[in-house]
Amino acid sequence: MAVQAQIAIVGSGPAGFYTAEALLRAGLDCSIGLYERLPAPYGLVRYGVAPDHPKLKSVTAVFDRIAADPRIRYCGGVEVGRDVTLAELEAHHHAVVLACGSPIGRQLGVTGETLDGVMSSATFVGWYNAHPDDAAVQPQLDHPTAAVIGMGNVAMDVCRLLCTDVGNLAGHDAAPAALAALAGSRVREVHLIARGAPGAAKCTVKELRELGALPGLAVRFAREAAVFEAGEPTDLVSEWRALAARPDPPYIERTLHVHFYSAPVAFEGAGRLAALRLRDSSGAATTERVIQCGLAVTCIGYRGRPPAGVPLDDRSGVVPNAGGRVRATRAGSRAGLYVVGWLKRGPTGVIGTNRADAVETAACVMEDLSGSAIEPRAGSAAIEALLRARAVRPIDFAAWQQLDRWERERGLACGAARVKVSGLPEAYAVLDAAASTPA
């Protein structure tokens, strides 16, 4: 009798779900344990997509259908390295796929980056999306000026959130504490900082167009003529030019200042951010200038944080791999250990990019498991026995669906799409209360 392959997938964001889907669609006779450290699945879709982009979150319906397959065992609230070790996963599974993303914001590496008021986009986005890791974050919104460093879609999201009327976020799933803070924000001037030219921005035309459509927003460009006189026209450059030509609204509520060819030199202040120093990065001048600001959000990318013992390339922020096989050394891979998603390729692409990426990693798993006979292993059953012995309480998918209903009902009561559970303690409290309520 053929041995059923036991697969562990660490992380239940798009990459994790698409990997499970790819393995099942390929016809592998397997049982999959899907391990998630947070009480809720969906990863970047839940905690990275801006609240005012609800259509992008509809992909969770696809993930729900994947999770409904009886060959998948979802275990939320289980952290590899805290509740169970990677070595234990490897011992009880034939393959372990790391799909735990890139949760750490990259650092600029300039003076003053640890000042109060300077934060990465990972932290700021987690704050307004109610990520349990960022529940205690309190961005400095009591100063009239903020700076956003970067030109990708995340930078556009952050600018849009800082420049929009908080009423535009009503009815979505932003964190209530973030909505309250943004409602009381004194920020009226936002400086968007980029090292390169307009055409080198990493944002999409759609994101840029959304920013330009905000009511009450005036847009100013530093050195406008010099910025737009050179370079080949592209859709993105055309959109920048359209934004530059946009007339001021009848009533200006906020102003967005766009700075190309501007490199951060230092964050300045005594304990708290007071100013951002910039230098010209075009090569045409060596001048520096200072922007007085009380908040700076660095949107310059992300880096991975794999379980202990897994190699990480410091420069790229990803796990060294060949098509998804984790490399233990330059000469070869670490048998049975794989990587997918941002931890594999870096923070690039859109949600759907993870599907093709997952197919590639799943193909490596299939090839390796078909190459030789495998010995029986207990898989997720053994891991769940370990967790019970350690008094760790996994949240299965049925329990997550209970939490999902509770979040939606809680949101309905206050006119929102949902109010997210704040973390594991609240998740367990909600589930216990439901279990004790008579049917």
Distance CA 290, CA 309 (A): 43
**Percentage of the chain with pLDDT > 70?**
95
Residue whose C-alpha is closest to residue 244's, from 215, 223, 263, 261: 223
* Residue ranges per structural domain of the chain: 5-103+303-395, 107-300
The answer as to CATH 3.50.50.60 being correct for domain 107-300 is: yes
407, with CB counted inside 10 A (0-12, 13-18, 19+), is buried
Q: List pLDDT tens digits, range 155-185.
A: 999 999 999 999 888 899 999 999 999 999 9
**Percentage of the chain with pLDDT > 90?**
82
Please give the structure tokens belonging to residue 408.
């939606």
Contact 128, 173 (CB under 8 A): no
Residues in contact with 90: Cβ distance below 8 Å, sequence separation at least 6, in sequence order = 96, 336, 337
Is 80 exceeded by the pLDDT of residue 390? yes
Q: List pLDDT tens digits, range 262-302.
A: 999 999 999 999 999 999 887 766 778 999 999 999 999 99
Give the pLDDT mean for 423-439.
89
Is 90 exceeded by the pLDDT of residue 228? no
Which H or E run includes 67?
Answer: helix 60-67
The reply to whether the predicted model has a pTM over 0.85 is yes
Please give the structure tokens belonging to residue 14.
């798009």
Determine the number of helices (DSSP H) and then strands (DSSP E) in the chain: 15, 18
Question: What letter does residue 167 receive in the DSSP assignment?
Answer: G
341, with CB counted inside 10 A (0-12, 13-18, 19+), is buried
Residues in contact with 19: Cβ distance below 8 Å, sequence separation at least 6, in sequence order = 9, 97, 99, 340, 358, 361, 362
Q: List pLDDT tens digits, range 301-340.
A: 999 999 998 999 988 999 999 999 999 766 566 889 999 9
Determine the pLDDT at residue 387.
97
Residue 327's beta-bridge partner residues?
A: 333
Q: How far is CA 44 from the centre of its chain?
A: 4
Determine the pLDDT at residue 373.
76
Determine the pLDDT at residue 197.
86
Determine the pLDDT at residue 274.
98
Please give the structure tokens belonging to residue 299.
């949107």
Q: List pLDDT tens digits, range 93-146.
A: 999 999 999 999 999 999 999 999 999 999 999 999 999 999 899 999 999 999
Give the pLDDT mean for 245-272.
94
Please give the structure tokens belonging to residue 345.
């390729």
- Supply φ then ψ for residue 102, to 5 degrees: -130, 85
Distance CA 57, CA 331 (A): 41
Distance CA 392, CA 403 (A): 18
- Measured from the Cβ of residue 88, the count of other Cβ atoms closer than 10 Å reads 15
Contact 62, 342 (CB under 8 A): no
Single-letter residue type at 383? I
Residue whose C-alpha is closest to residue 174's, from 215, 145, 131: 131
Give the pLDDT mean for 71-79.
97
Determine the pLDDT at residue 436.
82
The answer as to CATH 3.40.50.720 being correct for domain 5-103+303-395 is: yes
Residue 80's beta-bridge partner residues?
A: 84
Residues in contact with 313: Cβ distance below 8 Å, sequence separation at least 6, in sequence order = 319, 320
Residues in contact with 409: Cβ distance below 8 Å, sequence separation at least 6, in sequence order = none
Length of the chain: 439
Radius of gyration for the alpha carbons in the chain, expressed in angstroms and rounded = 23
Determine the pLDDT at residue 282.
78
| Strands in 143-280 per DSSP E | 145-149, 189-193, 217-221, 254-259, 262-268, 275-280
Helix (H, G, I), strand (E, B) or coil at 266: strand
Question: What letter does residue 196 receive in the DSSP assignment?
Answer: S
